[in-house]
Amino acid sequence: MSEYNSKAKEIVILGGGFAGLWAAKEFGKKEGYNVTVVDRNNYHLFQPLLYQVASAGLEPEQISYPLRGTFRKMLNIEFRMAEITGVDLDKKVLHSDVGAIPYDGLIIALGSVTNFFGIEGAEEYAFSLKSAEEAIDIRNHILSCFEYAQHETDPEIRKELLTFTIVGGGPTGVEYAGALSELVNTSLHRDFRGLNKEDVKIMLIEGENGPLNGYPDSLRNYAKRRLEKLGVHGWYHQHVTKVEADKVTLKKGITIPTRTVLWTAGIRGNKVAEHMGVPLGHSNRIITTPTLQLENHPEVLVAGDLALPMDGDTPLIGPTVAPNAIQQGAHSAKNLMKYFEGEELKPFSYFDKGSLATIGRSSAVVHLGKLKITGFFAWITWLIIHLLYLIGFRNRVIVFINWAFEYLFFERGVRLIMPKTKDTVPQGKVDEYSTESTEGEALNERSSST
């Protein structure tokens, strides 16, 4: 039972992702505040490992943790499962599907959604990877493609089924390309004896001259070579202009026949922000002061992917990664407490702890200050850091066991086509194949705060 203090300030934190969770932890250390964390899901999702759910390596519950369990020992923190529909900044009231939620101070940490940049057909036909449901949909779809291709007699359709296109060569795109290649070359190669590995094509489309733009050149070149070794076809200096059910069209008129498009090319602020009456900037992100406050409502702060701090006309954008969200979440909580206690607020400054990405088995790139590591030791570093940040001791143990099993036996254990939230029949095949599944509701967009 929470210790409710009737004289304490009522604080609401929107979102249970990295920013919201770390903001709540700061308030959990301090008396004088009643805090309510609001999220549409009752769990925190560890998004950096979501691609492993989509590539049959992990189950979503292994990288998720109940928010109520997280706050169990923080007696001034409450959780409320609700979907926010708007906010009245003047009256300090949130509107939600469970009614009005008043506040004295507010931290908005609703995260981001996939940015399709208005590309024709992308939102309709491409998969995004921002929620557990979407990861399961991708896994279902990939495995379904192999099931149908096993008995497909038309070589053109079979080619489309076995061509997998990933748009965006950032860490998520690179990590998923590596994981998918390993899935194809190990478990699926043994499961589907009628298919040749050479029939499967994995395409990575990136507008820059190689993967991992923003990393040091030596690490980018290593990633490029590693992807080539895994059989990933890099299409660099290329931009997608159109996505259809059975093909992708590039800027120069080149078409790639494919039934699978995974979009990891960018993010934008959660669409809920459009209904809040707050100032929005680039990519639908909420404009704040350097202290993460709304300019005309200093009791409202924004943290994580949704925040766009501005110093005059200069954006102070940090990377849209978990460490930035964690730091902004903690900083916004400290600043909100300073605001109520009459102290001077501090501008946010991102402390770069480094960047890292894994590229398949025993291979990764790590950039920590002047230190640049590749290969096996970088991969071990990647494993340790992700296990440490994963919420829940049980989750850490289970994920470690899964990784050890996969490493020792070259086997992915979650090759299951589960009940669907939408059709997993490969795009364009719904009328040609008979299925007994019940049609599910269309996917709702989920924020990174889940």
Q: What is the chain's alpha carbon radius of gyration, rounded to the nearest angstrom?
A: 22
* Residue 357, phi-psi category: left (phi > 0), alpha (psi -120 to 50), beta (remainder): beta
DSSP conformation letters of 128-157:
--SSHHHHHHHHHHHHHHHHHHHT---HHH
The residue among 372 and 442 whose pLDDT is bigger is 372
* 312 has a pLDDT exceeding 90: no
**pLDDT for res 280:** 94
How much is the pTM? 0.90
Average pLDDT over residues 162-185: 97
Q: What is the largest CA-CA distance in the chain?
A: 73
- Give residue-wise pLDDT tens across range 190-249: 999 888 888 999 999 999 999 999 999 999 999 999 999 999 999 999 999 999 999 999
- Sequence ranges of the domains in the chain: 9-40+82-114+268-340, 122-265+361-409
Confidence of residue 420 (pLDDT cuts 50, 70, 90): low
**pLDDT for res 435:** 34
Return the beta strands (E) in 337-394 as ranges. Answer: 355-358, 364-368, 371-374
The residue among 2 and 400 whose pLDDT is bigger is 400
- Of the candidate CATH numbers 3.50.50.60, 3.40.430.10, 3.40.50.300, 2.60.120.200, the domain formed by 9-40+82-114+268-340 belongs to 3.50.50.60
Average pLDDT over residues 365-381: 94
* 91 has a pLDDT exceeding 50: yes
**Token reading at 368:** 């920590």
d(CA 35, CA 385): 29
**pLDDT for res 320:** 87
- Same topology, domains 9-40+82-114+268-340 and 122-265+361-409? Answer is yes
User: Domain 122-265+361-409 belongs to what topology?
Assistant: FAD/NAD(P)-binding domain (3.50.50)
**Mean pLDDT for all residues in the chain:** 90
Q: Which of 119, 159, 167 is nearest to 257 (CA)?
A: 159
Average pLDDT over residues 416-429: 61
d(CA 272, CA 276): 7
Q: How far is CA 220 from CA 184, 267, 371, in A?
A: 24, 22, 14
C-alpha 78 chain-centroid distance? 25
Confidence of residue 449 (pLDDT cuts 50, 70, 90): very low
d(CA 398, CA 411): 16
Catalytic residues, which ones?
175
- Give residue-wise pLDDT tens across range 423-433: 555 554 333 33
> With contact defined as beta carbons under 8 Å apart, do 400 and 392 qualify?
no
Q: Is 14 exposed, middle or buried (0-12, 13-18, 19+ CB in 10 A)?
A: buried
Confidence of residue 27 (pLDDT cuts 50, 70, 90): very high
Average pLDDT over residues 274-301: 94
Instruction: For residue 234, give the amino acid letter.
Output: G
Confidence of residue 144 (pLDDT cuts 50, 70, 90): very high
